[in-house]
Structure 1
Amino acid sequence: MIYLCQREGGVTVSRTRNEKRHLVTLMNSHSPVSEAYRALRTHIEYSVVDNPAQIIMITSAGREEGKSTVAGNLAVVYAQNERRVLLIDAVLRKPAVHRMFQVSSPAGLSSLLSHQIDLEDAVQETGIPHLYVMTSGPIPPNPAELLGSEKMKELLEQLRTQFDIILIDTPPLLAVTDAQLLASQSDGVLLVMHAGKVRKEIAVKAKENLQRVNARLLGVVLNKVKRKTSEKYYYYYGN
């Protein structure tokens, strides 16, 4: 399992009045937090060397734990490593990726799964070399049904042939069933937890939900860890 602890505020997004978000790995690629994301990328790759994870789902136990920010920054560092990366916003109820990368979201994953657009119309460039996004699209009346559909499975298999890394941002595990549906279709899962906020029993329940669908837990990202200002970050990993 991989653990990554980051200095409090390190991955917290800053917002302007129009809610645009800034990615630390893009805005300050030499910062300690950016280095922490690169370390996370490296440990993911080395931990699954015998069975590489091409489709990685990023989720959390509850709300507001920073999973979308982790997904966005991880996508950037993979792209900076010259990997062809697609970040899919599968948070169909309260999406964030379109704001994070400042792209429009008139059509996206929900439109594609409901046969309203073709794949080439759902994938957008971000302006960052090698990095593409698929926004959530319009909020549908049946998110779980769409994400658990045969069409979604076929889509992921098709995307495997077009991208080196596919990251999927999903709703929290304990809020709705969406994340569990996608966990079973992914090669691995990163579980983001707000240090000091998430309770032990909630964390255990989130892990059990993943085990219930035989998901492969790649690691846990501890977000917003309170550290002394003189300390940067630390990480460790193990089986």
Structure 2
Amino acid sequence: MTLVTITDPRSAAAEAYRTLRTNLSFYSVAQPLRALLVTSPAGGEGKSTTAANLAVAMAQSGRRTILVDCDLRRPAQHELFGLSMSPGLTSLALDEVTDLPLQKTAVDGLWLLSSGPIPPNPADLLGANRMDAVIAQLLERADFVLFDAPPVMAAADAAILGAKVDGVLLVIQAGKTRRDHSERARERLEKAQVRIVGVTLTNAPKDSLIGEYYG
């Protein structure tokens, strides 16, 4: 997993994340997205990398951005940014800390709320009323909040948390994601009355014309 928006900002891949940022910004002009959850049908499809790079792209555009690692089963964001796992979201949700334990990243305007210690009951923690208060706190501190959630087919977490935010971005990987998994993931989210704002494709074949333009 790499942060191409930092390591190679002039690449076609980094530009793709900026395009995704623009598309999300224009998704609803009347009611702009401020709290977005990123998930995937199954594991290993690139949802954590997508969430991290999108968060960087948002911050680079001048928005105060907070990235929250809500994958309380296999957290990865602290490793991507080289930061601490604890204290984090679970510490806050369990009232072990009172202030938001945000960590400043190397990107101006971007903070990380890492997962914190892995709890025995992630779905219960994410579905509790305390989580509503945490989301409200985050929105007071940032222009845009991104939540990295577990895959839809692996746990109920994404559907539970997705109902609390403005929308969900579903990440699928070219050549890997099964069509039936994508359809079942969409059905599960819609059944939970989650607003799916779009689907993004990872590992897509490189367009030679775009590659030549960006060198």
Does structure 1 residue 160 correspond to structure 2 residue 160? Answer: no
Q: Where in structure 2 are there 5+ consecutive unaligned residues?
A: none
Does structure 1 residue 208 correspond to structure 2 residue 187? Answer: yes
Give the distance between the partners of 1:196 and 1:153, measured in 2 at CA: 37
- Deviation digits for residues 42-93 of structure 1, max 9, x if unmatched? 0111121121110000000000000000000000000001100000000111
Q: Secondary structure at the residue paired with 1:50?
A: coil
The number of residues matched between the two structures is: 211
Q: 1:24: how far off? A: 0.3
Judge which range, 25-34 or 67-76, deviates more.
25-34
Superposed, 1:1-239 pairs within 5 Å as 13=1, 22-120=2-100, 122-227=101-206, 230-232=208-210
Q: Secondary structure at the residue paired with 2:168?
A: strand
Q: Secondary structure at the residue paired with 2:26?
A: helix
Q: Provide TM-score, normalisation by structure 1.
A: 0.85
Q: Name segments (4+ residues, structure 1) moved above 6 Å.
A: none
Q: Where in structure 1 are there 5+ consecutive unaligned residues?
A: 1-12, 14-21, 234-239
Percent identity over the alignment is 41
Q: Secondary structure at the residue paired with 1:119?
A: coil
Give the distance between the partners of 1:117 and 1:220, measured in 2 at CA: 35
Which structure's residues are more often helix, by fraction? 2
Q: 1:210: how far off? A: 1.1
- Deviation digits for residues 181-218 of structure 1, max 9, x if unmatched? 11000101100001121121111111111111211111
- Deviation digits for residues 139-160 of structure 1, max 9, x if unmatched? 1111111100000011101221
Q: 1:33: how far off? A: 0.8
Q: 1:226: how far off? A: 2.8
Give the distance between the partners of 2:84 and 2:178, measured in 1 at CA: 36
Q: What is the one-letter code of the residue matched to 2:111?
A: Y
Give the distance between the partners of 1:152 and 1:47, measured in 2 at CA: 25
Judge which range, 164-173 or 139-148, deviates more.
139-148
Q: Provide TM-score, normalisation by structure 2.
A: 0.95
Give the distance between the partners of 1:144 and 1:89, measured in 2 at CA: 14
Q: 1:231: how far off? A: 4.4
Q: What is the one-letter code of the residue matched to 1:41?
A: R
Q: What is the one-letter code of the residue matched to 2:80?
A: M
Q: 1:119: how far off? A: 2.7
Q: 1:232: how far off? A: 3.6
Give the distance between the partners of 2:28 and 2:189, measured in 1 at CA: 18
Give the distance between the partners of 2:8 and 2:205, measured in 1 at CA: 21
